[in-house]
Amino acid sequence: MIVSKSYQNCTETEVPGYNDCPSFLFMPNRPSARRKQHRVISNHLSANDNPSTHPTNKTDTATAPPPILHRSPQGITKNQENVSDTSLSKEEILNKVGELYGLKSKLVTKEFEFYKKKVDNNLVGSLENGSTRAVMTRFFLEANSDRNKASNTLRAWMSSDVSVINWCPAFLKIFEHTEMS
């Protein structure tokens, strides 16, 4: 007959293997714990690397911070204008997506319609963002010359921008399964 011991009414030290750490490590009155005291350093280096014997005998002079430069928003707007000038408009991107839908697809019709619905429901809202339009413009430029590079652009974008994760994988699936002529 096997006798089992109940551990309901016992202390942790009575249970073999419960805590394998020796209890003396956590004793607050051990000698090494008493040795650790905060020490005040009497000699410190000043800003001039001269040792000072007493912290109050010499005050270190702090240098003034550099002046705050007020940047004009012209540089910022120039960059935004360059992006918007080179990017396709929202309507142009939607037309390109429509052209992509019109190409022959290797996907089953039901699967194609599922992905198309995901893209249509979410793409329009994402195109309000200028960076989305810039990446989609780059994608369509690359799609004309190198399909693999265009696919990799979308993959890198999906991994760096979580705002497109609800429609971009479906768009990539449609793109990769179309037959470009």
Residue 58 to residues 40, 41, 50, 61, 65: CA-CA distances in angstroms? 17, 15, 10, 9, 21
Q: Which residue range(s) make up the domain with 152? A: 108-181
What is the domain count for the chain? 1
* Residue 171 placed within a domain: yes
* pLDDT value at residue 77: 42
Q: Closest Cα partner for 151 from 164, 138, 161? A: 138
Widest distance between CA atoms in the chain: 89
67: in domain? no
In a domain, 149, yes or no: yes
100 contact partners, CB below 8 Å, separation of at least 6: 174, 175, 178
What average pLDDT does the segment 138-154 reach?
91
Under 8 Å between Cβ of 133 and 90: yes
Residue type, 57: N
Residue 56 forms part of a structural domain = no
Residue 94 lies in a domain: no
Chain segment 85-139, per-residue pLDDT in tens: 588 889 999 999 999 999 999 999 999 999 999 999 999 998 898 889 999 999 9
Instruction: Say what the pLDDT of residue 67 is.
Output: 75
Residue 11 resides in a domain = no
Q: Is residue 168 part of a domain?
A: yes
pLDDT at 115: 94
Distance separating alpha carbons of residues 64 and 47, to the nearest angstrom:
14
Element (H, E) at 114: helix 109-126
Would the pLDDT of 66 be above 70? yes
pLDDT at res. 152: 93
Determine, yes or no, domain membership for 6: no
